Structure formats: structure tokens, C-alpha cells
Amino acid sequence: MQDHITPRRVVILGGGFAGLFAARALRKSPVAVTVVDRRAHHLFQPLLYQCASGILSEGQIAQPLRGVLRRHHNVRCVLAEATDVDAGARLVHARRPEGEAVVLPYDDLIVAVGMRQSYFGHDEFAAHAPGMKTLDDALDIRRRIYRAFEMAETAADERERRQWLTFALVGAGPTGVELAGQIREIAGHTLDREFRKIDSAEARVLLFEGSDAVLGAFGPRLAHRAARTLQGLGVELHLGTRVTGIDSRGLTVRDHDGRTTGFEARTVLWTAGVEAPPIAAALAKATGAEQDRAGRILVAPDLTVPGQPEIRVTGDVMSLDKLPGLAEVAMQSGAYAGRSVRHAVEGRTKQPKPFTYVDLGSAAYIARGRAVVKAGPLHLSGFTGWLAWLLIHLAFLTGFRSRLGALLSWSVAFATGSRRERAFTLPDAEVPTARAAGPKASPPV
């Protein structure tokens, strides 16, 4: 009688780019892979802003994890959030959506949990200025953008109308630049001639940035071109400013000279800063690993946690050689971690080569037919940059249907300026306590 051999257990925390590529690298290995994620879908985060602005639907940027991994017969998916790691016993502690505890034993652990929005110690800003890291965030932002125009149409006075028609974005990295450009396009093209009392094209888009340049990581040349394009669209740039307060009516900022200025805006969006989720701190405590200022885990050149060769950290949450938090870094590091486990299972004793990132470039979409792309010495902008952006994102989208659907949506948006995905819902209004006294008079609309 043959003894049953238990396959090596590999637990992957996170179903983003790093986790997905790690699982794919283990597809043909004799291992049992468990992918743990608090959400049941794989999200193409670089296109979240297009969902938020109404170009793409949720289904075009988010695919069910089980569907993506359906042909990986050695992979199972668990809907839960990792909360702690017992490195000595090799256990991951997780919590299911309704609170029940789950314990997952592992022989190899691949951490690919990504990063979350950071408000730099001012978490109270989140209630008034949502970030954009999840699908829920994108839908919330879509609701806020299109609701603002509706509210402006029925505003009681001119001041309130101006407040609703003012959009403030904090952070001029790729997400902030892309979203600012989209809001200007919505105001100037998508909603053109749809309202009777307001001119949507009069909407103001304010972009605030602590440094002295937009898209600073792209270099001075492309940063200058991006700034010029944004200003041509009507985006107002406020560089060298730091936000000191945000409430439901707007924000206050302080410039390099210490002067404080207030801006009235009913819609404030936060696109600045990221930090590691709590599981990163739990892992660092359990293993003695170091963390950088944003909470990323410092890893060895082979992506392992020092002293814990069975634990590999990948993607945005790893800190190695100042690599940026890009999708390409996540994909390559996830694939590297998966291959490392596969080679160990195959009994390869040769020391693995250090992880080497191949820079495939960075891209930011600004407006129809205008984008900036940086790939090594190659710098593209304008329509040429937009074509390169298009090809890059089509190549990385997950699934043929997503690619085809996105291409059709982009074609319609480019040709007409219209957006099909403009539906949004509003929460039920609170019931007034003095309802019995009768309805309150409203201004004529």
C-alpha cells in the first residue's frame, strides 16, 4: 500500500498582480496553493480612475479570482483577511467577512497584500476625501463626481453652485493627474448641453501637490509636458502646497511661505500617499523584519524575510532597492517568488539569482489622445504617448473579454466623448425629526 504524500502547502496573501502571478508560476508544480484575499476579485488598479469617471464598467477592470484561476487545479481561493502570522508554527491567522477565525498552515508563505491609502496621520480626512485603491472607492468617487453636477443644477444660490462645481484633488502623481484630466473632460465634453441652469464646462478642477512638479517620477521633461497639457484642459495647478484641513465644504492648504489659503469645494478627492496594511506590521513583529517609513517590509535580494527563507514578500508591500509601487514590479516579483518556490520543490539546490526588475516603463493618461510614457530612454507624450499607453494596458488587462470590452469603450469615448458607465446610487436621505410639522419649503429649481 502506497503512503499518501501531502503536497507542499503554499499560502499566498493577496489576489492582486503579485499574488496572481505567483499562483500562475506554480500552476504545474506539485503544491497545494491557497490564495487568501478579503475580496473575491482580481482588480486592475491602474484603470480604477476610468471606472470612477464612467468610461469602463466594474466588470472590465475586475475579474472573479476563481474565474481567473479556474484552470489552476492546485489552487483554492479563501475569502478572508489575514490578520497575523505565527512564523514559528508556520500558521496564518485570518478572519472571514462575518468575523470567524481561520487558521491556514503553510510550508511557504508569499505576502502580496499591496498597500492602502495613507492620509499622513490625518485619518479624519477620509470621511470627506475618499482615496482610490479599491473598487468601492472608484464607485464612491463616480457617485461624488456626477452627483456634484446634479446638485449644482438645483443649488439654492450662486455660492453653493460654485462649491458644487469645484473639484479638489490632493496629490499630482499618476492617479491625481489622470483623474483631474477625466473630470475636465466630463465637464467640457461628456455633460455638454445636458443641463439647463448650469454650464458644466465652468467646473473648476484644482490639483494640489506638495512638490514643485506634477508626475515628478517621470522626469522634468515629461512633467513639464503633463503640466502644460493639464493647464490647457483648464486644470488649476497648486504646487508646493500641503493640505492642513478638509471638511464637507472644502480644504485649507499651506504653501512654502507658510501662508494658509482656504478653497470652497464640495468634492475633495485624495490621491496622495500609501501605507502598508496592518498585516505587514504583524508580519514584522512575528519575524523581526524591518519596515520603512510607509510600513513596507525590507527583504533580501531573493525577496525573503531575513532569517525566514520560507517567507517571501512581493509587490508594493516589499521594500527593495527603492523600487516603485508599479503593477510591473508586482507582476515580476510575484512571478519570481512563485518560481523560487517551484525550484525549491523540484529540489534545485543552486542559490537563486537575486530578483532583478526589468523596467517596462511608466504611463499616465491625461485626456483623449494625450498621455505620457516613460520607458528607459524613451519618452513619449501627446498622441504617440496615448497610443503607447493603449497598447500597454491592453496587453496587461486580464482576459480577452476585458480587452475587447475596454477597446470598444475607449473607441466610443475617444470618438464622441460620451461615457456609458454613468449610473450611480445615493444612500437614503435621513428622515427629519420634525416630519410631522410638514415639509420644509425648498427653493425653486
Give the Cα separation of 275 and 294 in Å (integer): 5
The candidate with the shortest Cα–Cα distance to 322, out of 288, 357, 290, is 357
Residues 6+ apart with CB under 8 A from 60: 47, 51, 397, 402, 405, 406, 409
pTM value is: 0.89
Give the Cα separation of 53 and 331 in Å (integer): 26
CB atoms within 10 A of CB 329: 23
Extract the C-alpha cell encoding 50: 476610468
Give the Cα separation of 16 and 239 in Å (integer): 32
- Report whether 36 contacts 13 (CB < 8 A): yes
What local confidence, expressed as pLDDT, does residue 375 receive? 82
Chain centroid, CA 160 distance in Å: 31
Long-range contacts of 67-71 (CB under 8 A, 24+ apart): 68/20, 68/42, 68/398, 68/399, 69/20, 69/23, 69/35, 71/27
The candidate with the shortest Cα–Cα distance to 397, out of 68, 9, 49, is 68
The partner residues of 286 in beta bridges, in order of sequence, read none
What local confidence, expressed as pLDDT, does residue 257 receive? 87
Spatial strand order of the sheet with 166-170 comes to 235-239, 204-209, 166-170, 267-270
One-letter amino acid of 181:
G
The gap between the terminal CA atoms of the chain, to the nearest Å, is 83
Give the Cα separation of 204 and 156 in Å (integer): 19
Tell me how far apart the 2 most distant CA atoms of the chain are, in Å.
86
One-letter amino acid of 375:
A
The partner residues of 380 in beta bridges, in order of sequence, read 373
- Report whether 164 contacts 248 (CB < 8 A): no
What local confidence, expressed as pLDDT, does residue 400 receive? 46
- The residue ranges of DSSP E strands in 171-210, in sequence order, are 204-209
Q: Where are the alpha helices (DSSP H) in 211-319?
A: 220-233, 278-287
What local confidence, expressed as pLDDT, does residue 398 receive? 62
Chain centroid, CA 284 distance in Å: 24
Backbone angles phi, psi at 45, to 5 degrees: -60, -35
Model pLDDT for residues 393-415, shown as the tens digit of each residue: 777 776 545 667 777 777 777 76
What local confidence, expressed as pLDDT, does residue 421 receive? 85
Q: Which of 178, 185, 328, 421 is catalytic?
A: 178
Extract the C-alpha cell encoding 427: 444612500
Give the Cα separation of 213 and 258 in Å (integer): 19
**pLDDT tens per residue across all 445 residues of the chain:** 344 578 999 999 999 999 999 999 999 899 999 999 999 999 989 889 999 999 888 988 899 999 999 999 999 999 999 999 999 999 999 999 999 999 999 999 999 999 999 999 899 999 999 999 999 999 999 999 999 999 999 999 999 999 999 999 999 999 999 999 999 999 998 998 899 999 999 999 999 999 999 998 888 999 999 999 999 999 999 999 999 999 999 999 999 889 999 999 999 999 998 999 999 999 999 999 999 999 999 999 999 999 999 999 999 999 999 999 889 999 999 999 999 999 999 888 777 799 999 988 888 988 888 899 988 788 889 989 988 888 887 777 765 456 677 777 777 777 676 788 888 888 766 444 444 444 444 445 5
The candidate with the shortest Cα–Cα distance to 46, out of 317, 395, 375, is 395
Give the Cα separation of 372 and 334 in Å (integer): 27
Extract the C-alpha cell encoding 69: 484561476
Extract the C-alpha cell encoding 394: 491592453
Q: What dihedral angle (degrees, nearest 10) is formed by the CA atoms of 47, 361, 129, 50? A: -20
What local confidence, expressed as pLDDT, does residue 395 receive? 74
Extract the C-alpha cell encoding 283: 508580519
Active site residue 178: yes
Reported as half-sphere exposure (CB side, CA atoms, 13 A), residue 366 has a value of 29
Extract the C-alpha cell encoding 186: 466630463
